[in-house]
Amino acid sequence: MSTKESPIWAITCLVVAVITLSFSPILTRITENELGPYATTFNRFWIASLALILGSGVKILWDKQNERLPTTKEAYTIQDFFYLFLIASFDSACLVTWAWSLTKTTVANSNLLHNTTPIFAILGGWLLLSQYVNRRFLIGTSLALGGTLIIAFQDFHLAQDTLIGDSIALLSALFYAGVLLVTEHLRIKFETTTILIWNCSLSCLLLLPCTLLFEDRLFPVSFSGWLAVIALGLFCTLIGVGALFYTLEQFSSGFVSVMMLLEPIIAAFLAWAIFGERLSFLDGLTFVVVLSGIYLIKSDWSLDDSSSL
C-alpha cells in the first residue's frame, strides 16, 4: 500500500467499487433472459470501451482548447503488451465463467464462490509478488472468508445441476485473482483509464469470435435487456471496475480482494430492499463475521507498515 496519494480517497474508491459491483450478478441474470454468457460479457465490454474512447477524445480536445500540455507518456514494451493482453484474457474468462455459472446455480451460490478470490489473490501475491502477510492479516482474512461461507449452508446443495455451476463460479474466482494481481503490477506504470481502455478493447476482440460461434444472438432485443447491458458496461465496468483498478495503486490485491467480500453481503441487502427477499439469522451472522474479519485487516493496516500487505 503506497502512501503517494491520500488513503482516504483510495478507501472511498474501494467503497464505490464494492457497491457498484454488487449490482453485477443481478444485472447479469437479467440479461441472460435474452443473451448467453459470451454475448452478455461482449456487450458489457464494447459499451464500456466506447464510453472510455469517447471520454478520452473529449479530454484531448479539452486540453488542446485550453492549451494544456499533454502528460509525458512512457513507451510501451513487449512485456507491457503481454501483461495488457493477460489481464484482458483473465477478465474475459472471469466474467464469462461467472455469467455461465449464473445459468447453472443460484445467484447466492455463484456470488459467494466468485468472492473466494482472496484465497488465490493472497497466495498469488505471496508466490509471485513476494508480498508478506502477517498473522493478524491471515486471521482477518480467514474470518472474512469463512463468514461468506456461512450463507452457503442455507442453499448449497451438492446436486449435479448446481455442482457444475458452483465449480464454474469457483473457477471465475481464480481468474478474478489473476485480474487483480496483473492490474496491481500494471498500476506501477499506467493510469487506470489506460488499463481500462486496453482491457475492454482487447476483451471485445477476444470475445467477439466466441460470441458469434457459440451464441444465437449478439445483442439484446428488449428495452430491459439493453438497459441491463448498458448498466453493466457503464455502471459496473466503467465506474466499478475503474474504481477497483484505481485502488490497486494504493492497496495490494490481497487487501482489495478481502474488502470485496462485502459485495455478496451488500447484494443480499439490495435483494431484500428491491425484491423483498427474506434475510435469515445466518445472513446477519455472515454480516457480523465478515465485518469482524475486515476490521482486523483494516486495524492491522493502520498499525503496521501497509506495504507488508
Report whether pLDDT(240) > 70.
yes
The yes-or-no verdict on residue 91 having pLDDT over 80 is yes
Gap between the Cα atoms of 309 and 224, Å rounded: 42
C-alpha cell recorded at residue 257 = 480482494
Nearest Cα residue to 113 out of 79, 75, 148: 148
32 vs 298: CA distance, rounded Å: 37
pLDDT of residue 72: 54
Q: Grid coordinates standing for 42?
A: 461482449
Q: How far is CA 219 from the centre of its chain?
A: 23
SS3 77: coil
Residue 155: pLDDT over 90: no
Q: What is the pLDDT of residues 171-219, one digit of tens each?
A: 888 898 888 888 888 888 888 888 999 999 999 999 999 899 888 889 9
| Residues ≥6 apart with Cβ < 8 Å to 75 | none
Closest Cα partner for 274 from 7, 5, 3, 23? 23
pLDDT recorded at residue 148: 63
* Averaged pLDDT of the chain: 78
Task: Quote the crossing angle between the two packed helices 135-150 and 281-303, to the nearest 10°.
Answer: 160
Biggest CA pair distance of the chain = 64
DSSP 8-state code for residue 239: I
CA distance 252 to 116: 16
Burial class (CB in 10 A: 0-12, 13-18, 19+), 125: buried
The values of phi and psi at residue 234, to 5°, are -90, -45
Look up cell 477497483; give the residue: 244
pLDDT band at 305; cut points 50, 70, 90: very low
List, as one string, the DSSP characters of 116-136.
Answer: -HHHHHHHHHHHHS-----HH
The domain limits of the chain are 7-67+74-131+156-250
DSSP for residue 280: -
User: Confidence class of residue 282 from pLDDT cuts 50, 70 and 90?
Assistant: low
Task: Read off the pLDDT band of 267 (50, 70, 90).
Answer: confident
Q: Is 252 left (phi over 0), alpha (psi -120 to 50) or beta?
A: beta
List, for residues 26-83, the tens digit of each pLDDT value. Answer: 888 788 888 888 899 999 999 999 999 898 888 777 777 776 655 556 678 889 899 9
To which H or E segment does residue 288 belong? Answer: helix 281-303
Contacts of 118 (CB under 8 A, 6+ apart): 141, 144, 145, 177, 254, 257, 258, 261
Asked if 4 contacts 248 with a C-beta cutoff of 8 angstroms, the reply is no
